Amino acid sequence: MDALRDLKRRAILHPDDAGAAFALAEALLGAGETAEARRIAEQALLRSPAHGNLVRLAVACCRRESRTARARELLDAAVKAAPEDAALRDERAGILDEEGRLDDALLEREVADRLAPGDEGRLLALADGYARRGLVARALRVLARLDAPDGTDAARLAASLRERCPGAGEGLVERAAAALPPDAPALRDAVERLRRDDAALARRALARASDAERATGAHALLRAELLRRDGRDAEAAIALARAGIAEPPQDGPVPAHAAVGRIGALGWRPGSGCVSPVEAVAVPGEGRLAFSGNVGQVGREAGEVAWTCLRAVAARVGLEDALRGKDLHLHFVDTEISKDGPSAGIALWLAGASALSGRPLRGRLAASGELTLHGDVRPVGGLHEKLVAARLAGVSRVIAPRANRRELEALPAEVTREVEVVQVDDAAAALREALAAGGPRGESR
């Protein structure tokens, strides 16, 4: 009790001393006086918002009291005051995980890893988060930075990803054979031994490889094959990831390069967003619309509105001739994910306009906005989650409603640094911003 009394006296005599406040709050928390410890810590944070230990102690108090929202508010303020503090970002990522905001937690851990790379716990959390989001290549690249002996969490995660990653399974020997450099006798010998199912001699051949041979992709493929035959699947997947070989297609949900009738539609789900690939094809016909994909009634109505709007504003955007004698098919490609709601309207309209005109849309493009029959782009909900998902999916440009400008202004810098958000009021403006170089130019109303 005397020690606690001395700490209180010191805190009273030195009200601007963050260290004194921290020592008192820590002692109070240890004595079970959680509410008082939190009060002392929060008062001190008003004067020293970037004091990491005070923040963490206040957050620990909030967690004990099941006040998760307040804990996140404290961390938000602390990260704003000290954006280069990796430990604070790790702490905030943990809170975001508890709130079910997986995408935001991933962003925080990415920034923390950039500020202080190499923390094993953070790397494993990053890899697990990427895996849960279906970002297999990223998960394996992170795991490749870790030691993953059999039986560890990293090894188990790598093994679970192996079958989802092209190149981590069968066919490695023939891929190695195709990649053999002209002067690689040891690797050529290893290929022949593996073709005869003689793993022991193949391993000896690989051990004789020169430094130049060891630096090739063929060597990485053969090493992974030997690991796989030993039942060490996790190490095989990680070996390929370290060599930059075990990569799924790079386009992701949207094409990396300009393409006709292809765009990402941004969607929302609890705690995160998603990027659903949309395709449109125009075929000879009588002006009919076909619509397919795992889409609810409101989503199908968005497709009908987009089709009617295309015809209503055709003269304004230079599509009158393109519409004659054409049917349009709109399709949500990712049928495993159920979608509904009107916010895909502008993405569907842009895909249709591109397909009808034959002019490509930009690569790495996505859009979100409710569309009216006259071509107005109305505001949508969940834009924060949608834009974070776009950033994680590799989207570089997003068409969004100007009416959502307040939400757009509040986006984290980690999103706006990599995703260009173009605000529009109508479909004609959206088309101008979405078309690849050389596309037609309609007039905005």
How many C-beta atoms surround the C-beta of residue 407 within 10 A? 18
Q: What is the mean pLDDT of residues 208-236?
A: 84
Which two structure tokens, joined as six digits, stand for 152?
Answer: 């560890």
More confident call, 160 vs 327: 327
Residues 6+ apart with CB under 8 A from 362: 258, 397, 434, 435, 436
- Burial pattern 199-230, b for ≥16 Cβ within 10 A else e, equals eeebbebbeebeeebeebbbbbbbbbbbbbee
Q: Which of 101-110, 242-251, 296-305, 354-363 has the lowest mean pLDDT?
A: 242-251
> 444: pLDDT confidence band, cut at 50, 70 and 90?
very low
Q: Which of 109-118, 134-143, 153-162, 296-305 has the lowest mean pLDDT?
A: 153-162
Predicted local confidence at residue 251, as pLDDT: 46
Residue 329 to residue 297: CA distance in whole angstroms? 17
Give long-range contacts, CB 8 A cutoff, 24+ apart: 88-97: 88/52, 88/55, 88/56, 89/115, 90/119, 90/122, 91/55, 91/56, 91/59, 93/125, 95/59, 95/68, 95/71, 96/72
Predicted local confidence at residue 249, as pLDDT: 44
**Residues designated catalytic:** 343, 386
The number of residues in the chain equals: 445
Phi, psi of 377 (to 5 degrees): -105, 110
First and final CA of the chain: distance in angstroms? 75
Would the pLDDT of 400 be above 90? yes
Predicted local confidence at residue 149, as pLDDT: 53
More confident call, 175 vs 158: 175
More confident call, 230 vs 342: 342
Q: What is the mean pLDDT of residues 254-282?
A: 92
Specify the residue for token string 């990569």: 247
* Each residue's pLDDT tens digit, 10-54: 888 888 888 888 888 888 888 889 999 989 988 888 888 878 888
Would the pLDDT of 334 be above 70? yes
More confident call, 126 vs 340: 126
- Burial pattern 301-332, b for ≥16 Cβ within 10 A else e, equals bbbebbbebbeebbebbbbeebbeebebbbbb
More confident call, 272 vs 420: 420
Would the pLDDT of 9 be above 70? yes
> 250: pLDDT confidence band, cut at 50, 70 and 90?
very low
